[in-house]
Amino acid sequence: MGQVLHGSARTTEAVRRAIQHSQESLRALAKRDGINQKTVAKWKGRTSVADLSTGPKEPRSTVLSVEEEAVVIAFRKHTMLALVAFPATYGDSGVMTFIVNQQGIVFEKNLGPNTTKTARRMTEYDPDMTWKITPP
């Protein structure tokens, strides 16, 4: 069965295991495997050969506080209206625009540099095929 590596990975589990068990210098191992000495040192210091998760420990909104998110959810439940959220400043505070329907399904799309103008013209919930469903 094949091994799935992230896009930046330069070592396999077998190479990592060999590094961990080797008595060679960091320099020799780096040269042999064609990787940076810091990478060799990292794998020497670990007990596992698996990549560590780089995602958030607890997923949360990157823009809204917990209180603000709760207000939005309560408002949507009360009014049953669809919701659109777009970056305050395109490119600085994000590039994706999100729309949420009455059932809580979230779609996203990059509306480009004219995001504010485009989003403010939205008057009804009508995502076309260019909007992508975001995972829950």
What is the full DSSP assignment across the chain? -PPP--TT----HHHHHHHHH--S-HHHHHHHHT--HHHHHHHHT-S--SPPP-S-SS---SSS-HHHHHHHHHHHHHH---EEE--SSTTTS-SEEEEE-TT--EEEEE--TTHHHHHHT--S----TTSEEPP-
Residuewise pLDDT in 10s, the chain (136 residues): 466 666 677 888 889 999 999 999 999 999 999 999 999 999 999 998 888 777 667 766 666 777 887 787 788 778 877 788 888 888 887 888 988 887 778 889 999 999 999 988 888 888 889 999 887 6
Q: How far apart are the first and last CA of the chain?
A: 29
- pLDDT in the model for residue 55: 67
- pLDDT in the model for residue 23: 93
- pLDDT in the model for residue 126: 84
Q: Is 91 exposed, middle or buried (0-12, 13-18, 19+ CB in 10 A)?
A: exposed
- pLDDT in the model for residue 38: 92
Who contacts 85 (Cβ-Cβ below 8 Å, separation ≥6)? 97, 98, 99, 100
- pLDDT in the model for residue 29: 92
Kindly report the pTM of this predicted structure.
0.45
